[in-house]
Amino acid sequence: RAFIFCDHASNAVPPWVSLGVSADDMQRHIAWDIGTDGLGRKLCAALNCGGLICSFSRLVIDANRNPDAPGLIPDYSDGTDILGNHGLSHEDRQARIDQLYGPYHHMLGVALDSHPACLAISVHSFTPQLRGHPKRSTDIGLLVKDDPDTANQFLAELSTAAPDLQVDINEPYSAYDLNWTVDHNVVPRGLRHLAIEVRQDHIATDTGQAAMADMLARAIQPLL
């Protein structure tokens, strides 16, 4: 059985946090992985498996960062100043860790311990174009480091399920750079795993999410 988790599925900000970011910016990719809430839920339904959806914006605190990383609570992202995160006090920083970041990772650990033989699947999405950068041609990225065998099996199945999509390894991000949740929660438990990145224009709508969930599920099912 699979277990799916989405670190950046929400752009929600708790009422006790003020980011100083416009409503328009909160809809951009800087605040969340657009489309992953719907994709994650549809993938759980297609695979008849459990999952965990992170419920706070990456601008409040980034669940996929080492707690000591400089970008754990970002003060700038793709052209936007996160004014409420500038000069954050130690107490405010610790509150976000204690009330949001810590509980998310605890819940994920508990869930994975209750599925000891699962295929753990991390689902993210990425913007088609960062400001000032060329458009990205990758349709689906697979972040690979500790479990190349599962990744290779998935790639073989995906070539049949989605032959027209460009699938790249460690693009647009590398598992050697941005892989904290998998490194911290999945690898130590010895679980087979996949870390999937989907370009956001494929899953910006409910229809797109359904189509992508179907393609991914067809590629994942033979691995279970």
22-40 pLDDT, tens digit per residue, is 999 999 999 999 999 999 9
Would you state the pLDDT for residue 132? 76
Would you state the pLDDT for residue 129? 86
**Percent of the chain with pLDDT strictly greater than 70:** 100
Would you state the pLDDT for residue 70? 86
Indicate if the pLDDT at residue 131 is higher than 80: no
Would you state the pLDDT for residue 134? 83
Helix axis angle, 206-220 to 148-161, nearest 10°: 120
Would you state the pLDDT for residue 143? 97
pTM comes to: 0.96
Rg (CA), the chain: 17
Cα–Cα distance measured from residue 170 to residue 100, given in angstroms and rounded to the nearest whole number: 28
Q: How far is CA 27 from CA 9, 56, 171, 206, in A?
A: 12, 13, 23, 16
Would you state the pLDDT for residue 44? 98
**Percent of the chain with pLDDT strictly greater than 90:** 94
Q: What is the DSSP letter of 125?
A: E
